[in-house]
Amino acid sequence: MKEDFKMAKSGALDLATGVGGSIKKKDVESAVEKYEKYHVEFGGDEKTRKTNYTDMVNKYYDLATSFYEFGWGESFHFADRWKGESLKESIRRQEHFLALQLGLKRGMRVLDVGCGIGGPLREISRFSFVSITGLNNNEYQIARATELNRLAGLGNSCDFVKADFMKMPFRDNTYDAIYAIAATCHAPDVFGCYKEIYRVLKPGQCFAAYEWCMTDHYDPTNESHKKIKAEIEIGNGLPDIRSTHQCLDALQKAGFEVIWEKDFATDSALPWYLPMDTSHFSLSSFPSTAIGRFMTRVMVRMLEFVRIAPAGSMRVSSLLEKAADGLAAGGRKEIFTAIYFFLARKPLTES
Ligand SMILES: C[S@@+](CC[C@H](N)C(=O)[O-])C[C@H]1O[C@@H](n2cnc3c(N)ncnc32)[C@H](O)[C@@H]1O
C-alpha cells in the first residue's frame, strides 16, 4: 500500500455523490427544506427541535457529511492552536491530549460517544493501543467509519454501534473510559445525556469531552447575539446551545466529580475559528478560506446543474456557509466556544 494512501473522500466527485448520505438522491431537496423548518429563521422553535432531535440531527449529517470530509478531513472538530502549528496538527494534538487525560492504556474498553466517521477514534486507538467502540446514530457515517477503519487496518480492533446516546444499548458499568468530541451538543437534554454516559461508565473511571457552549459573554437579550446563536444552531444541527455553566451543573447533577474544566478558547495562541475567518488565507485549510468557499460554491452549483450532485446540494452548501459565518462571529465576539473541555470521574461509591 502506498504510504500516503488517502482515505478521506476529499475529491469534488466524492463530495457531490455523497450529498444526502443515506437519503435517496431525489429526496435531498425536500430533506433540506424539512431540516430548515426546524430552525428559527424558517419559523421553527427549540421545543420542536428537541422533540424531533433524531430526525433533525440525522438529516443534518446525511446532508453535510460529504462537505465535512471534503473541507475538514476525517475528524469533525475544532482545536486550540499554537503558532506554527497546522490545523491538522492541532486537531491531532487535541485528540492525543484527550487520550492522555483519560490515561488510556492497552486493554481498556473505551467508548467514543458521537464518533462521526471515526477520525478521532482511529487516531486515539493507534496512539494509545486501545480498542474503541464508536457510538453514532447516523447510518451513513457508520458506513463511512466502518470502511475507513477497514482501510486503516483497524477493522478487527475497533467497532461501531448505531444507537442514540440518550439511550445506549450497553449494560451499566461497561467502559473503562468514555470521551465525546463536539457531539453531546446535539443532545436534546444535556443532563439526560451525561446521566446515560455515567450509567455505562465503570465506577472510579473518567469521562472527558469537548463541548460546544455559549460563554459568560453571551447575552440572551442581545438581538445580535441571539442571531449568531441561531445561525450556529441551523448551520450545525443543534437543538439549543447550552452555556458552560449548564454543562457543568448537568455533569455534577448526573453524579460526576469534575476533576478540571477549561475553555481552551480563552488562551489559544491562534483562534479555533481561524479557518472560518474569511479574512484569513491558508493553503493548508484552503476549502474554508474566502476563495476556497467561493470555489466550492461554484463547483457545487456546476455539479448540481449537470446533475452529478443531487438537487438541493447548493442549499446545503449555503447552510454550511452560514454555519461557518456564525461560528466565526460567535468565536470573534467570544460569546461561543467550540472547545470547552472537562475531565470528570464517576465516584467509586455513589453518595
Ligand atoms: C460534529 S460530529 C463529531 C464527530 C466526532 N466526534 C469527531 O470529532 O469527528 C457530531 C457527531 O455526533 C453524532 N450524534 C449526534 N446526536 C447523536 C445521538 N443522539 N446519538 C448518537 N450520536 C449522535 C453525529 O451523528 C455526529 O457523528
Question: Which pLDDT value is given to residue 280?
Answer: 63
> Running DSSP on this structure, what letter comes out for residue 186?
G
**Secondary structure of residue 109 in the 3-state scheme:** strand
Distances (CA, A) of 50 to 80, 170, 187: 30, 24, 8
Cα 1 to middle of ligand 1, angstroms: 30
Q: What is the mean pLDDT of residues 332-346?
A: 98
pLDDT digits (tens, 9 = 90+) for 250-298: 999 999 999 999 999 999 999 999 988 776 656 556 666 777 777 788 8
Closest Cα to atom 14 of ligand 1: 114
Cα 233 to middle of ligand 1, angstroms: 14
What type of residue sits at position 216? D
Q: What percent of the chain has pLDDT over 90?
A: 75
Closest Cα to atom 16 of ligand 1: 186
Question: Which pLDDT value is given to residue 293?
Answer: 76
Q: What percent of the chain has pLDDT over 70?
A: 93
- Report residues whose beta carbon is within 6 angstroms of any ligand 1 atom: 57, 61, 75-77, 114-116, 119-120, 135-138, 141, 164-166, 181-183, 186
C-alpha cell of 341? 473541555
Closest Cα to atom 18 of ligand 1: 164
pLDDT digits (tens, 9 = 90+) for 60-100: 999 999 989 988 899 999 999 999 999 999 999 999 999 99
Closest Cα to atom 19 of ligand 1: 164
Per-residue pLDDT at 195 exceeds 90:
yes
Q: Alpha helices of 19-173 — where are they, by DSSP H?
A: 28-37, 46-51, 53-71, 87-101, 119-128, 139-152
Number of Cβ within 10 Å of residue 156's Cβ equals 9
pLDDT confidence of 13, banded at 50, 70, 90?
confident
- B/e letters for 56-82, b = 16+ CB within 10 Å, e = fewer, are bbbbbbbbbbbbbbbbbbbbbbbbbbe
Q: Are 16 and 5 in contact (CB under 8 A)?
A: no
Q: What is the mean pLDDT of residues 143-164?
A: 95
Give the mean pLDDT of the chain. Answer: 92
User: Residue for cell digits 491538522?
Assistant: 88
Cα 335 to middle of ligand 1, angstroms: 23
**Secondary structure of residue 113 in the 3-state scheme:** strand
Phi, psi of 339 (to 5 degrees): -135, 50
pLDDT confidence of 4, banded at 50, 70, 90?
very low
Closest Cα to atom 23 of ligand 1: 114
Atom of ligand 1 nearest to the CA of 74: 9
> Running DSSP on this structure, what letter comes out for residue 23?
S
What type of residue sits at position 208? A
C-alpha cell of 150? 477497514
- According to DSSP, the β-strands at 336-345 and 257-263 are antiparallel
Q: Are 272 and 340 in contact (CB under 8 A)?
A: no
In residues, how long is the chain?
A: 351
Per-residue pLDDT at 172 exceeds 50:
yes
Atom of ligand 1 nearest to the CA of 138: 25
The domains found in the chain, sorted by start residue, are 2-73+270-331 (no CATH), 87-264+333-345 (3.40.50.150)
Number of Cβ within 10 Å of residue 300's Cβ equals 25
Residue among 193, 162, 196 nearest 50 (CA): 193
Q: Which residues contact 224 (CB under 8 A, 6 or more apart)?
A: none
Q: Which residues contact 6 (CB under 8 A, 6 or more apart)?
A: none
Cα 320 to middle of ligand 1, angstroms: 17
Cα 115 to middle of ligand 1, angstroms: 5
Question: Which pLDDT value is given to residue 309?
Answer: 82
